[in-house]
Amino acid sequence: MVEELLIAAATVASAGVVYVAAAARIVKQYERGVVLRLGRLRGEPRPPGFTLVVPGVDRLHKVNMQIVTMPVPAQEGITRDNVTVRVDAVVYFKVVDASNAIIRVEDYRFAVSQMAQTSLRSIIGKSDLDDLLSNREKLNQGLELMIDSPAVDWGVSIDRVEIKDVSLPETMKRSMARQAEADRERRARIINADAELQASKKLAEAAGVMSEQPAALQLRLLQTVVAVAAEKNSTLVLPFPVELLRFLERAQQPNELHGPTPPPSGSSDAA
């Protein structure tokens, strides 16, 4: 009798161990367990740790709650200003409702990927080339809203969307390079013209000062001679001021008006 009881107890214990082994499940810290009993959702998702399910009746689906980094394949489209571009992006998202991620959508990763590609092509068609190149922050926000709107019903939250790269045709790259070169040349010419204007104003002020003080012109001439001589050249170029010629011209004008000076009277008598 005792032996039969021991055998029965051992059998029950073995069956219990087998049942626990078949029903035991481990849910990791970054996961949630969604239980479907006979195809129907069973309560709230199981928290991390050890949990039990009914073997053959319950089915446990583990859902990763970590942030997922998903690259969006490069999409080719035509911008609003008729430029063909190729744009790729990356989407950061996470599951916030494990039950909806299993029940509402067949494969939430594939769904987010397809929605991101469609939204990226839509953003390309609505934007100008300048916006794609310089105003990416605004485009990222618009792209995030377009993806996040349907993803809310899937139990997925879009954390961030970033446009990685914009590829342009070679002809457009050359056109942009010529445009940038022309713009730099325009700015250089404006700067040179402004410098010439400022220099002309300063030279006019200097000419006014020299006209009031004639000795300043001679001092400036000597400074020029010293500067030229410091170069150790074999030939010395000496600038001749025009004002000096005008001074000599004015000095000769009285003699031309009065004629030559008559000789002394004493010398004519002697002759």
pTM of the model: 0.61
Domain boundaries, the chain: 22-64, 67-166, 169-205
Separation between Cα atoms, residue 54 and residue 37, nearest integer Å: 8
Give the residue from 75, 84, 70 showing the smallest Cα distance to 171. Answer: 84
Q: Which residue is listed with tokens 């990226």?
A: 120
Q: How far is CA 31 from the centre of its chain?
A: 37
Buried (b) or exposed (e) across 246-262, using 16+ Cβ within 10 A?
eeeeeeeeeeeeeeeee
Span 173-196, average pLDDT: 88
CATH of 67-166, one of 3.90.79.10, 3.30.479.30, 3.20.20.140, 3.30.1120.10: 3.30.479.30
pLDDT at 92: 93
- Higher pLDDT pick, 212 / 52: 52
Dihedral pair phi/psi, residue 78, rounded to 5°? -115, 125
pLDDT tens digits, 228-258:
777 666 666 666 666 666 766 776 766 555 5
